Amino acid sequence: MHMADALISPAVGGAMWVATAGLIGYCSKKIKEDIDDSKIPLMGVIGAFIFAAQMINFTIPATGSSGHLGGGMILAILLGPYAAFLTMASVLTVQALFFADGGLLALGCNIFNLGFFPCFVAYPFIYKRIVKDGQSQKMMMAGATLAAIAGLQLGAFCVVLETLFSGISELPFGTFVLLVQPIHLAIGIVEGLVTSAVVIFVWKSRPEMLQSSVSSIADKGYSIKRVLIGFVAATLITGCALSWFASAHPDGLEWAMFKTAGVEELEGPEKGLHSSLATIQEKTAFLPDYGFKSSEADHSEEATKAWPAVDPGTSMSGLVGGVLTLCLTVFIGFVIKRRKATEV
């Protein structure tokens, strides 16, 4: 599932971009060190293959629904984790630019969600552990399926977290998780089966293709732990730092907590924390607009909420002003068009 710019806050988007950019840099370095320079055209065409293959929908037997190939696992199996990550990143970039799949800011999230987990978690820790030296078809099938499921589950969970921390969507944590994880379990099973079937197909004709990616990892003294720790740390630090300064609204999280945990009152230290956060936000945010709830709103379920400064007068001004501004912008557009026509 792709994150969209519309659902993301700059803090979350920025943090994920930092993580993704770091990973891209790291993988690029590893590619440069790779002595096999035939990987370069291989990555390009396999990326194009994945892109094209994703366009083919197939029917899933016994369900009547259709699915399509994700590709993260196939890439990891054929190219090894570093090349696979870069390839996945490139495919998602083209999709974001041409088909508006996700967005430019959310691209960082999408590359991370759909690239990091299959390539750096599912592939080394699940697929390779199960498949080992790659001679048994059954093991390949089991390995690919479990790895695909794991990769997609983690990726989907990441989407939930990113949406939550952005605070734009009201989708509560519990509901979102219940919605998203089972769907991705099903998708994962299908993806795993398709991946393993295609990989076995290739393995029967060109076994050397799979060997090359396996051996190149063994040679490099590859340490996934360092990669994982490094990037989780980077994400947390930048996420916290950015959130502090440019934060949107703690409300989303609180609201989710409120609904999921059923905690009615968030008083005591939380109240103090929230109001001080609000104060800081007021000071550092640009003009305080009618965009955030006050803390009192969460503390009672009465009909009257203490809603600051949204009186009918302001609402009407906002509406009128909004319509006028829109007209103004369209007018500007026409003026430019006219000028262009007369220029020629």
Partner 1 sequence: MATIENNLFDIGYMDTLASGTTSLHQLDPRAKLITTLMFVIMVVSLGKYEISMMIPFVVYPLTMIVSGELPFNYLLKKIILVAPFAILIGIFNPLMDREILVQLGSLSIAGGWISFFSIMIRFGLTVSAALILISLTGFNAVCMALEKLGAPRPFVIQLLFLYRYLFVLIDETSRMVRARSLRSFGSGGIHFKVFVPLVGQLLLRTLDRAQRIHLAMCCRGFDGHIRISRSLKFGFNEIRFTLAWSLLFFCFRSYNIPLKIGELIAGYF
CA–CA separation, 88 vs 85, rounded Å?
A: 5
CB atoms within 10 A of CB 127: 30
What are the counts of helices (DSSP H) followed by strands (DSSP E) for the chain? 13, 2
* By CB under 8 A, residue 183 contacts partner 1: no
* By CB under 8 A, residue 51 contacts partner 1: yes
* Closer residue to partner 1 (CB): 129 or 324: 324
| Dihedrals phi, psi of 59, to nearest 5 degrees | -85, 140
Which of 218, 262, 340, 342 lies at the binding interface for partner 1 (CB under 8 A)?
340
CB atoms within 10 A of CB 282: 11
| Dihedrals phi, psi of 66, to nearest 5 degrees | -115, 155
Residue/partner pairs of 101-105 with CB below 8 Å, 24 or more apart: 101/2, 102/2, 102/3, 102/4, 102/5, 103/3, 103/4, 103/5, 103/6, 103/8, 104/5, 105/5, 105/8, 105/10, 105/13, 105/14, 105/17
Using DSSP, state whether 251 is helix, strand or coil.
helix
- Residue span 268-307 as binding mask against partner 1, x where in contact by CB under 8 A, dash where not: ------------------xx-xxxx----x-------x-x
Residue 265 contacts residue 297 (beta carbons within 8 Å): no
CA–CA separation, 295 vs 250, rounded Å?
A: 10
* Closer residue to partner 1 (CB): 32 or 225: 32
Which of 72, 80, 167, 192 lies at the binding interface for partner 1 (CB under 8 A)?
167
* By CB under 8 A, residue 10 contacts partner 1: yes
Question: Shortest Cβ distance from residue 26 to partner 1 (Å)?
Answer: 9
* By CB under 8 A, residue 8 contacts partner 1: yes
- Candidates 21-29, 123-131, 132-140, 225-233 — which segment interacts with partner 1 by CB under 8 A? 21-29
- Residue span 99-138 as binding mask against partner 1, x where in contact by CB under 8 A, dash where not: xxx-xxx---------------------------------
Which of 139, 142, 154, 168 lies at the binding interface for partner 1 (CB under 8 A)?
168
* Closer residue to partner 1 (CB): 37 or 133: 37
Which of 177, 198, 253, 257 lies at the binding interface for partner 1 (CB under 8 A)?
198
Question: Shortest Cβ distance from residue 339 to partner 1 (Å)?
Answer: 9
* By CB under 8 A, residue 44 contacts partner 1: yes
- Partner residues linked to 254 by β-bridges: none
CA–CA separation, 177 vs 129, rounded Å?
A: 28
Which of 19, 46, 147, 278 lies at the binding interface for partner 1 (CB under 8 A)?
46
Which of 15, 16, 18, 29 lies at the binding interface for partner 1 (CB under 8 A)?
29
